Every structure is written in C-alpha cells, then in structure tokens.
Amino acid sequence: MIAVELPWVALVLSLVSAVAYAAAAVVQERVAGRPISVLVWMPTWWAAIGLNGAGALLHVLALRYGPLSLVQPLGVLTLVLAVPLGAVVARRAVGRVEWHGMALTVFGLGGILALVSAAGDIGALGAGPLIGLLLVAGALLTALGGWSAVPGASGLWAAAAGGVAFGVSSALTQTVAVHVGEGGVAALLRPTVALAGVAIVALTSAGLVFAQRSYRDGLAAPLAVSTLANPVAAATIGLVLLGEQIAGGTVGAAVALVSAVGAGLGVGLLARSRSVETVAVPVDKAYAA
C-alpha cells in the first residue's frame, strides 16, 4: 500500500485537471453534431482529445498523492468551469436555472466528498475483484450504450455511460499506480496490472465516445450527468472493493444519500435549462443540410 502523504498536491493537480477537462468539453460540444468519421479530420477535435489526455495525466498524478474517494469527486469542478466557459464561447449569459443546477450538483457531491474517506492507505484491486468489476462494468456500459442508441433517446444515457466508464477507469488507474509505486515499471508485466492497463485504455476510449455522443443534447446537462456518475461509480468501487468508508455510520450514510439526491436535482435543473438548446444545434443543422 502507498500511504496518503500529500493530499494538497492531489487537490492542486485535480483542479488543473478539471480546467483541462472543462476546455475539452466545450470544444467537443461545439462539434458534437459531426460523426466520428468527420471528427477525426478536424484539428479542433484532436485539440479536445489532447486536453482530455492532459486532464487524464494530471488525474493519474493526483491519484498518486490522494485516495480515489478524495480525487474523484473533485471532478465536479469540470462542470463549474465548463458551463460558464461554454456560455462565454456562445456569447451568452449563464441562466439562473443553470446556476441553481450547478450549485445543487456541487453541494451534493461536496457532501459525498466530506463523508467518504480512505482507511489510511490508497487501495488496489486484486485479481478477483478486478475481473468481477470489469464484468459488471461491461454489462452496465452495454446496457447504457444500448439505451442511448435508441432513436430519439436522451443523450443523458450516453453521458451516464461515459461517467461510469471514466469512474471505473480511475479506480483501475489507482490500482496500476499502487503496483508501480511498489514494484517499479516491472510491475506492469504482472497479469493483474497488465489487464488493468488494457482495461484503462478501453474504458477511456469508450468514455470519450459516449461523451461526444452525449453533447448532441447540449453541454450542461450531459456534463452534469457524466460528472455525477463518474465519482459515484468511483466512490462505490472504493467503498465496496477498496476498503474506503463513509464517516458517521448510519447518519453519515443518510447524509450521503441526501447529498446524492441534491446532486440529482441539480442535474434535473440543468436538463431543463436553456443550455440544452446549445450552440451545437446550428452546427448540426448546417451539417445535416
């Protein structure tokens, strides 16, 4: 196990990571109406991929200095930064409903963050739990992806799938970081670590595709769903498989539940906000024409 030594470093790295992810989301939303076959030829889309890569790298570094339950919920900063940034790019003001939605989402996830804590060390998944997690994650992503592909279905299903994919990827990243920290680069040759590494690449790629699909419904609501699903998935893995725990016992669990409901209400407000009528709509229509 690697001791949690520098949580403030994890906080700083998570903040810079959120800035990179927010900028990437705004760029992706601007071109959301284009199919992947067109996007791969667009420099702006590759710039978004580069920003996502930078965000992911910083996230990995943050997991080196703080537990999953600390680092992952800080991804909510992506929402706080991306919605105003998207409004600036679209040359409009952020609406009152959007501000209220963001506030509920942030405070809800903040409540979860305050109650979920590591048991002294940063945990890593063993072979059995890792395989079980991948099977469950694969089934869940298949279901969410299928629902999002139904004609006329809300892009929020794709957003949820993207959030889950990124959340599971973060848990696996922590596992790889722990093994490499203990055994050096040679640890990457261990079957469990190698499997986790392959899964990280697959889940991150899937998350990017789901996120791109979700932004066809706008920026704020899909990003809020993804931002919520990501730490919830990661925190669940931490609680169930990595020995992390909710402070306060039954009372803490109740507060965490209320916080989760508050975050869900925030997502609902964002889904109703005018940001759903995105700047990508004119791009979509022009492309369709």
Q: What is the pLDDT of residue 164?
A: 93
Q: What is the pLDDT of residue 248?
A: 67
> What does the alpha-carbon distance between residue 273 and residue 183 come to, in Å, rounded to a whole number?
49
Domain extents in the chain: 2-288
Can you read off the two tokens belonging to residue 193? 């670590």
Phi/psi region, residue 254 (left: phi>0; alpha: psi -120 to 50; beta: rest), is alpha
Q: What is the pLDDT of residue 156?
A: 84
> What stretches of the chain show up as alpha helix (H) in DSSP?
7-30, 36-39, 43-65, 68-71, 76-89, 96-115, 127-149, 156-183, 191-214, 220-241, 249-272, 280-288
Q: What is the pLDDT along the chain (289 residues), one digit of tens a residue?
A: 444 456 778 888 888 998 998 888 888 888 877 777 788 888 888 898 899 889 888 887 887 777 766 676 677 778 778 878 888 887 877 778 888 888 888 788 777 666 655 444 566 788 889 999 999 999 999 999 888 777 666 778 888 999 999 889 988 888 888 888 777 888 888 898 999 999 999 998 899 889 888 887 777 778 878 877 887 787 788 778 877 666 666 777 788 788 878 887 887 777 676 444 444 444 443 333 3
> What does the alpha-carbon distance between residue 247 and residue 127 come to, in Å, rounded to a whole number?
28
- Exposed / middle / buried, residue 95 (Cβ in 10 Å: 0-12, 13-18, 19+): middle
Q: Measured between alpha carbons, how far is residue 157 from residues 7, 69, 150, 183, 221 in Å?
A: 33, 24, 10, 39, 11
- The closest alpha carbon to 58, from 5, 86, 85, 21, belongs to 21
Q: What is the pLDDT of residue 118?
A: 46
Across the strands, what pairs with 246? 116
pTM of this structure? 0.73
- The closest alpha carbon to 242, from 188, 140, 185, 168, belongs to 168
The answer to whether 43 touches 99, Cβ cutoff 8 Å, is no
